[in-house]
Structure 1
Amino acid sequence: MTTAIAVTSNGHMLPSPERHTPRAHVFQAPQEQPFDVALAETQRLIEEHGHVVVVHPVDLPRAFLHRLHAIRSVLETDRIALMPTSLPPLGTAVLVRQLRQLSMCEFSPGVLGASVRLLAHYVYAGALMHSVTKLDRLPASLTASAKSWNPRAQFAVLAAPTPQLVRTDGGDSGGARSVLSGPQFPTQLTVAHGQSTATWVSGTLAPQWRVADVHEVYLPEESPKWWGTGKLVEFAAAIPDVSVLYRLVSSVRRDECHWCGLELIGDRCAFCAAPAPYGTGARRAGGERPQTARRSPGHAPAQGSGSAAGAAQGAAPAAGAPTAGAPTAGAPAPGAAAAAPPAAPSPSTPPASGSGSDPGPGTAGPGAAGPAAASALRPAAGTGTGAGMPPGPAAPPGAGADPRAGAGPAPGGRGGNGLTGPRTDGPRTDPRRSGSGLAAFLKQKHAAAAAKQAAAARSQAQSPAAEAAQSPAAETQSPAADPQSRHAVVADPRGL
């Protein structure tokens, strides 16, 4: 199904050089055709072709333009595109002939309608006149208007794509004739003679522009009013080959209209006048997040290093250190110190090495974070390394010191307790968390647990009546009654 091309004047429909080129539909003026007849013809065009592209001049009478808008409103359709153009009448007719040729191609209605503005830039339209006094559509100097009173004066006026006015009789430079700026691509020159019999267009202008052919047609009835005089020769040069036109339109970027869904070229849809989507600028991809430093599995911090992280957080960062808020390799999150106290190692975990052990390769030493961080990572004077002893009946000698002190780095080439992170034990002031205090605390807890087990065994040996009498008292006894049971939450060394 081909898209229908419509015009508002019979002079805008030129004879086509090819027989299979479709004709254009002509809308009549409101005073020449009733509204219901125009409505029925438009409905038939939409049913046969699907879409209609109407090319009309920008100075179309207001009543005629209101008629076109009324037809589109009554039919309640968005398949009618109204495309104004500022070309002269003959240039508009040449443009419509190109659209009729392209309607046989595979272009969608949106691309064909939007190509009106594209092809108008490749139409060189003008006229040869003997007077420019009434030419009010193009800027004309006062000198040119004064010289128009000379009956032998001739002016070549180019209206599109760039306005230009030159003298063709050599009156400006003593016999030297000016030349109009012509196209730089192969064209066909269409000429329409009015009341002038001058041969300058076909004899001088055609060789200067190197046109392939000169095609003569009738002068459109709107031309004398448009140029301000009937004594003229109107001309228009455009691309005649449909294959060149096809490649020209196909080379332009296509977009999809976000309102009606049709394809379009340029900056605006021809049917709904919605702007092209690429004119809003670049869009950011959703879900993008800034890249942050990730900790590698071999540099994960050791469990229980929150106290050192809290001490290092209060220290001043050194030059070149990462900024606050960016996680670094081998360091826990800033809130890790306040989240949970450092846990004591389980009986199967070897105790940590002394403070003089080498941190090992791949870990940052105390000097990497500055003097403040180095002092925070150093254990306080008079306290142990912070590593607790396994539970037992009594604390062995030197419980507050590291039994592996001075033994060198732990297996695996790293210091500390053999984990993947450096030593981050900070100063501890609680005597229960030091070596000797923790051993005494665990000894008391084990003794209390053994006493409870012995009391339970004796209660089972008593009579059922005595056991029933003592059971309420045993149930009502809460862990808070025992002064030592307040720390039942941390009795397990793994919970420290």
Structure 2
Amino acid sequence: MALPAQDERTMPAVVLGDIDRKPLDHALTDLNILTEQYGHVVVVCSQATPEPVVRRLHTLRSLLESDRIALFRPGLPPLGIAVLARQLRQLASCELSPGVLASAGRLLTHYIHAGAVLGSVARLDRVPVGLKAHARSWVPGSQFAVVAHPEPQLVKVAPDATLKGPEFGTWLLLAKGQLQSEWAAGLGTRWKAHGVRETALPAESPLWWGTGRLVEFCSYLADLSVLYQLVASVRRTSCHWCGMDVIGDRCVFCSATAPPHEPPRAPEQRTPA
């Protein structure tokens, strides 16, 4: 799902819709045109993305023999994925190299709190669920508040129920499915958010959460200057494999990790003649 632009500088999103259903040559042409138009492409998709789509993306990248296409699948719920993609679109308007922009996604995931209020956790396999919570799922009217990232949390919804939230100022985004929840609406107050916004529920959310009876939520940093400051403050290195400038220990374009650091050798001791 492509969220609307956060500000006038936010780069437009390109949705690779039905990429697994198009004839291979058509999908290949579309992705090649996109790469030539922008120079580099970062494809952000959920871990709930169907395997045929993921296989097609890898096939296209291989056929194009291109190191200018990065496939990024962070472990975020679908709404968190949409928020992260928009943050990268915001940063794309800044003077950042493609490698730094792509690897910034791994950095920004640490500042995203993503979860949902669920009508059932019977099919939830993304967060540890105890036997008692499973049993309560069968009680009519039960609701559960879950945080999947950055650390798993699960509580039964009640007036005094709380979830640990961000310790810095964020905005809160809500996406309503087939569930009415006053508790979710009040989460912005509990987490002291700057404000609450609403959007449509991503198509992959029911699959990711195991139910369509949900309200998905995500807290995030919205200000471009803050996002840029975070990325710019991290030390940059060159990927030892493809030469891209990156931040962190992994290049998103070629998937190479930084070689282990080897301490300098001590000088050889020579016996005087």
Q: Same fold (TM over 0.5)?
A: yes
User: Which residue number corresponds to residue 155 of structure 2?
Assistant: 166
Deviation at 1:17, TM superposition (A): 2.4
Percent identity at matched positions? Answer: 51
The secondary structure found in structure 1 opposite 2:45 is: strand
Which of 218, 221, 225 is residue 236 of structure 1 equivalent to? 218
Name the amino acid aligned to 2:169: P
Residue 1 of structure 2 is aligned to residue 18 of structure 1: no
Number of residue pairs matched by the alignment: 273
- Distance in 2 (alpha carbons) for counterparts of 1:289 and 1:21: 57
1:201-216 alignment, distance < 5 Å = 201-203=184-186, 205-216=187-198
- Distance in 1 (alpha carbons) for counterparts of 2:118 and 2:237: 43
Deviation at 1:280, TM superposition (A): 3.0
The secondary structure found in structure 2 opposite 1:249 is: helix
User: Which residue number corresponds to residue 186 of structure 1?
Assistant: 169
Name the amino acid aligned to 1:183: P
- Distance in 2 (alpha carbons) for counterparts of 1:246 and 1:20: 13
Q: Is the 8 A contact 1:115 1:265 kept in 2?
A: yes
Name the amino acid aligned to 2:263: A
The TM-score with structure 1 as length reference comes to 0.53
The secondary structure found in structure 2 opposite 1:237 is: strand
Deviations 1:32-55 (A, max 9, x none): 322222211211122121111111
Deviation at 1:112, TM superposition (A): 1.0
Deviation at 1:282, TM superposition (A): 2.9
The secondary structure found in structure 1 opposite 2:190 is: helix
Distance 1:226 1:104, change over 3 A: same
- Distance in 2 (alpha carbons) for counterparts of 1:114 and 1:20: 20
The secondary structure found in structure 2 opposite 1:25 is: coil
The secondary structure found in structure 2 opposite 1:96 is: helix
Larger C-alpha radius of gyration, 1 or 2?
1
Runs of 4+ aligned residues of structure 1 deviating over 6 Å after TM superposition are none
Deviation at 1:132, TM superposition (A): 0.9
- Distance in 1 (alpha carbons) for counterparts of 2:3 and 2:210: 23
- Distance in 1 (alpha carbons) for counterparts of 2:208 and 2:6: 27
Residue 110 of structure 2 is aligned to residue 121 of structure 1: yes
- Distance in 2 (alpha carbons) for counterparts of 1:106 and 1:282: 34
The secondary structure found in structure 2 opposite 1:121 is: helix
Residue 178 of structure 2 is aligned to residue 195 of structure 1: yes
User: Which residue number corresponds to residue 82 of structure 2?
Assistant: 93
The secondary structure found in structure 2 opposite 1:40 is: helix
The secondary structure found in structure 2 opposite 1:26 is: coil
Q: Is the 8 A contact 1:255 1:276 kept in 2?
A: no
Name the amino acid aligned to 2:138: W
RMSD over equivalenced CA pairs, Å: 1.7
Structure 2 runs not aligned, ≥5 long: none
Residue 246 of structure 2 is aligned to residue 264 of structure 1: yes
Deviations 1:323-350 (A, max 9, x none): xx45xxxxxx5xxxxxxxxxxxxxxxxx
Deviations 1:265-319 (A, max 9, x none): 1111111111224x3333448xx555x8xxxxxxxxxxxxxxxxxxxxxxxxxxx
The TM-score with structure 2 as length reference comes to 0.94
- Distance in 1 (alpha carbons) for counterparts of 2:27 and 2:261: 39
1:338-377 alignment, distance < 5 Å = none
